Amino acid sequence: MQPIPLREIHPERVDDYRWRLPRTGPMRTDGLVYADDSLFEAIRDDQALVQVCNVATLPGIVGPSIAMPDIHWGYGFPIGGVAAFDEQEGVISPGGVGFDISCGVRLLRTGLTRPDLEPRRRLDLLVETLFSRIPSGVGRGSRLRLSSKDLEGILTRGAAWAIDHGFGEETDLEYLEEGGCMPGADPSQVSERALERGSRQLGTLGSGNHFLELQCVDEIYDARAATALGLAEGQVTVSIHTGSRGFGYQICEDSLRVMVRAAQRYGIDLPDRQLCCAPVLSPEGSAYLGAMVCGVNYALTNRQVITHRVREAFEETYQRGPSWHRIGVVYDVCHNVAKRETHEIDGKRRPVWVHRKGATRAFGPGHPEVPGRYRAVGQPVLVPGDMGRYSFVLCGNPAAAEEAFASSCHGAGRVMSRKQARRNARGRALIDELAGRGVQVRSEGRATIAEEMPEAYKDVAEVVRSVEGAGLARRVARLVPFAVVKG
**Among candidate residues 426, 396, 420, the one with its CA nearest the CA of residue 408:** 396
Catalytic pick from 308, 325, 355, 410? 410
Residues 255 and 291: beta-carbon distance below 8 Å? yes
Q: How far is CA 126 from CA 71, 168, 282, 470, in A?
A: 35, 19, 50, 40
Q: Please enumerate in sequence order all residues whose Cβ is within 8 A of that of 212, keeping only pairs 6 or more positions apart, or say none.
A: 130, 134, 136, 205, 238, 239, 240, 241, 306, 310, 484, 485
Of 62, 61, 47, 54, the residue nearest 25 (C-alpha):
54
Return the H-helix or E-strand segment holding 262. helix 245-265
358 DSSP β-pair partners: none
What residues have CB less than 8 Å from 100, skipping those under 6 apart? 243, 244, 245, 248, 249, 336
- Tell me the H-state helices in 319-429: 322-325, 398-404, 418-425
Distance separating alpha carbons of residues 61 and 59, to the nearest angstrom: 6
Using the CB atoms, write b or e for 257-289: b if 16+ within 10 Å.
Answer: ebbbebbeeeebebbbebbbbbbbebebbbbbb
> Is 310:240 a contact under the CB 8 Å cutoff?
yes
Facing residues of 79 across strands?
72
Q: Is 410 a catalytic residue?
A: yes
CA dihedral 358, 308, 186, 293 (to 10 degrees): -10
Which positions are annotated as active-site residues? 410
